[in-house]
Amino acid sequence: MGGIIRNPVSRMDHFTYYVTADEPLVENIIFSKPFELDEVRLHLSVAMVSVVDFIIRLSSIFGSAYDVKLLSYAFLGHQDLLYQPTRPYKFVYGDILSIELNFKKNTNYYGLSVLGWEVT
């Protein structure tokens, strides 16, 4: 289904995560190294005809008090979304990047890309 294309090995090494599917989008990416989020791209095969929430959140290894909702977006009438944070979000070892978009299975096909940098 999905996976890491290239795992960072040195400071400022690029990271790419890519997945495609035709079922509701629920991705939880656990980072094995400190990471800085650059962008999240979502491409759908057809535009959403009803409002569906697209959610990106950081689940902190330090507990729910440190969790951050990075984006909550009402997806309707278009197929593409590019999210680039206005300030860098840094993830530490063990943090989870959760990305969700709920729709009926077999009604849409998506491609999701997460891009970022390893930091030390």
Q: Which residue has the higher pLDDT, 120 or 7?
A: 120
Residue 68, both tokens: 């951050």
| Helices marked H in the chain | none
What is the band of 13 on the pLDDT scale with cuts at 50, 70, 90? Answer: low
With b meaning 16 or more CB within 10 Å and e meaning fewer, what string describes 28-63?
ebebeebbebbebebebeeebeeebebbbbbbbeee
What rounded mean pLDDT belongs to the chain?
Answer: 82
Domains, the chain, in order of start with CATH, read: 2-118 (2.60.120)
Residue 36: alpha-carbon gap to chain centroid: 12
